[in-house]
Structure 1
Amino acid sequence: MATTSNHGTKAKALRKLGMNEAYQLAMYILDQYRSTVLSCRYAVPPHLAPAESRSQLEELFKVAVVDTIMKHPMLQVGMIDASSKTPSWIQLQTLDLTQHIKWLYLDGDADFEQTVQETFRFQLDDRFPDLSTYTKQPGWKITVIRQGDAPFMEVLLTWNHPQFDGAGAKVLHEDFIDMLNNVQNGALERTGLDGDILRLPEAPPFLPIPIEDVKGLPLDVKFFAKVLWEEFRPQFLNRDVSQAAWCPIRSSPYKTGYRTFFVDNASLLAILTLCRQNKTTITGLVNGLALIAFSLRLDSTVAPAFQSSTIMDHRRNMPPAPPGAPWAQSDRAVSNYVTQCLHRYETDLAARIRSKLPANSGEGIDLTADLQRELWAASAQNRQEIVRKIESGLRNDLLGVFKWVTNWQQTMGDMAKKTRQFTWLVTNVGVLDGKTSDDAQRWSIERAQFGLSAEIPAAAIEFAPISVAGRGMVVSANWADNAVDAKFGERIMADLERWLAQLASQS
Structure 2
Amino acid sequence: MDDAHERLRSLGYLEQYSSARHSLGLYRNVAVSASYSSSAPEVALQRTIYSALSEVIRRHPILSVFVKDENTSAPYFARLPLIDLKKCVFFIPRKHHGAPNGARDLALDELLEDQHCTDFKEEYGQRPFWRLMVLTEIGDPTRFIASFVFHHAIGDGQSGVAFHRSFCSALSKTSVAESSSVEDSTVLTRSVVSPQDPLIPNIEALHKLPLSLPFILKALWYSWYPPSNTGLWTGLPTTEKYSSKRARYRSFSIPSETTRRLVSMPRSHNSTLTALVEVLLANVLFAQLPNEYSTLRCNGTISLRQLLPSDIVNADSIGTWLSTYTHDHFRPDQNDIKHPIDWEQASQVRATIVAEVAKKGSDSQISLLRYAGDIRTFLLNRIGKQRDTSFEISNLGAFKPPHDSSRWHIGRMVFSQSNNVIAVPLTACMITGGDNCLTIGFSWTDGAVEEELIDKVMLDMERDLKKLAAEGDAMVADEQAC
**Same fold flag (TM > 0.5):** yes
SS of structure 2 residue aligned to 1:177: helix
Deviation for aligned residue 1:114: 3.6
Q: Could you tell me how far apart the structure 2 residues matched to 1:305 and 1:295 are?
A: 9
242 and 81 in structure 1: CA distance in 2 versus 1, 3 angstrom threshold = same
Q: Could you tell me how far apart the structure 2 residues matched to 1:57 and 1:191 are?
A: 16
Q: Could you tell me how far apart the structure 2 residues matched to 1:470 and 1:153 are?
A: 15
Deviations 1:315-353 (A, max 9, x none): 11111224xxxxxx52321001111111123xxx4233x
Are the counterparts in 1 of residues 392 and 428 from structure 2 also a CA contact under 8 Å? yes
Deviation for aligned residue 1:306: 2.2
SS of structure 2 residue aligned to 1:478: strand
Match of 2:237 in 1: 248
Match of 2:297 in 1: 307
Are the counterparts in 1 of residues 156 and 318 from structure 2 also a CA contact under 8 Å? yes
Deviation for aligned residue 1:379: 1.1
1:220 pairs with one of 212, 224, 228: 212
Match of 1:362 in 2: none
Match of 2:476 in 1: none
SS of structure 2 residue aligned to 1:330: coil
Match of 1:426 in 2: 393
Q: Percent identity?
A: 20
Q: Could you tell me how far apart the structure 2 residues matched to 1:33 and 1:444 are?
A: 32
Amino acid in the other structure paired with 2:348? Q
Q: Could you tell me how far apart the structure 1 residues matched to 2:126 and 2:364 are?
A: 35
Match of 2:368 in 1: 401
Alignment of 1:299-338 (within 5 A): 299-301=290-292, 303-322=293-312, 330-338=314-322
Match of 2:354 in 1: 387
Match of 1:81 in 2: 69
Match of 1:351 in 2: 332
Deviation for aligned residue 1:271: 1.2
- For the pair 1:36 / 2:30, whether they are aligned, the reply is yes
Deviation for aligned residue 1:307: 1.3
Deviation for aligned residue 1:435: 5.4
Q: Could you tell me how far apart the structure 1 residues matched to 2:441 and 2:218 are?
A: 33
Deviation for aligned residue 1:122: 1.1
Deviation for aligned residue 1:160: 1.8
Are the counterparts in 2 of residues 436 and 445 from structure 1 also a CA contact under 8 Å? no
173 and 245 in structure 1: CA distance in 2 versus 1, 3 angstrom threshold = closer
Between 224-233 and 375-384, the greater mean CA deviation after superposition: 224-233
169 and 215 in structure 1: CA distance in 2 versus 1, 3 angstrom threshold = same
Deviation for aligned residue 1:392: 0.9
Amino acid in the other structure paired with 1:316? Q
Deviations 1:403-444 (A, max 9, x none): 11231111111122332111111011111124599x9x7100
Deviation for aligned residue 1:382: 0.8
Alignment of 1:43-62 (within 5 A): 43-48=37-42, 53=43, 56-62=44-50
Q: Could you tell me how far apart the structure 1 residues matched to 2:374 and 2:11 are?
A: 13
Are the counterparts in 2 of residues 310 and 427 from structure 1 also a CA contact under 8 Å? yes
Are the counterparts in 2 of residues 44 and 153 from structure 1 also a CA contact under 8 Å? no
Match of 2:102 in 1: none
Q: Could you tell me how far apart the structure 2 residues matched to 1:142 and 1:433 are?
A: 21
Deviations 1:113-159 (A, max 9, x none): 443332122111122234xx443321111111212333421111111
194 and 90 in structure 1: CA distance in 2 versus 1, 3 angstrom threshold = farther
Match of 1:176 in 2: 167
Match of 1:479 in 2: 444
Between 266-275 and 180-189, the greater mean CA deviation after superposition: 180-189
Amino acid in the other structure paired with 1:165? D
245 and 313 in structure 1: CA distance in 2 versus 1, 3 angstrom threshold = closer
Are the counterparts in 2 of residues 102 and 144 from structure 1 also a CA contact under 8 Å? yes
Alignment of 1:97-176 (within 5 A): 97-106=85-94, 110-112=96-98, 113-130=105-122, 133-150=123-140, 151-176=142-167
417 and 106 in structure 1: CA distance in 2 versus 1, 3 angstrom threshold = closer
Q: Could you tell me how far apart the structure 2 residues matched to 1:427 and 1:180 are?
A: 28
Q: Could you tell me how far apart the structure 2 residues matched to 1:395 and 1:106 are?
A: 47
Q: Could you tell me how far apart the structure 2 residues matched to 1:145 and 1:279 are?
A: 40
Are the counterparts in 1 of residues 158 and 315 from structure 2 also a CA contact under 8 Å? no
Are the counterparts in 2 of residues 95 and 199 from structure 1 also a CA contact under 8 Å? yes
Q: Could you tell me how far apart the structure 2 residues matched to 1:192 and 1:266 are?
A: 41
Deviation for aligned residue 1:243: 3.7
260 and 246 in structure 1: CA distance in 2 versus 1, 3 angstrom threshold = closer
Amino acid in the other structure paired with 1:21? E
Q: Could you tell me how far apart the structure 1 residues matched to 2:258 and 2:432 are?
A: 12
Are the counterparts in 1 of residues 262 and 465 from structure 2 also a CA contact under 8 Å? yes
Deviation for aligned residue 1:173: 0.6
Q: Could you tell me how far apart the structure 2 residues matched to 1:492 and 1:255 are?
A: 20
Are the counterparts in 1 of residues 299 and 393 from structure 2 also a CA contact under 8 Å? yes
- For the pair 1:492 / 2:476, whether they are aligned, the reply is no
SS of structure 2 residue aligned to 1:229: helix
- What TM-score do the two structures reach when normalised by structure 1? 0.85
Deviation for aligned residue 1:240: 2.5
Deviation for aligned residue 1:192: 7.5
Deviations 1:204-259 (A, max 9, x none): x32111111111111122211121222233x6xx3233643553233523112322
SS of structure 1 residue aligned to 2:389: coil
Q: Could you tell me how far apart the structure 2 residues matched to 1:124 and 1:415 are?
A: 22
355 and 134 in structure 1: CA distance in 2 versus 1, 3 angstrom threshold = farther
Are the counterparts in 2 of residues 248 and 420 from structure 1 also a CA contact under 8 Å? yes
Deviation for aligned residue 1:289: 0.6
- For the pair 1:230 / 2:222, whether they are aligned, the reply is yes
- For the pair 1:276 / 2:267, whether they are aligned, the reply is yes
148 and 295 in structure 1: CA distance in 2 versus 1, 3 angstrom threshold = closer
Q: Could you tell me how far apart the structure 2 residues matched to 1:435 and 1:80 are?
A: 33
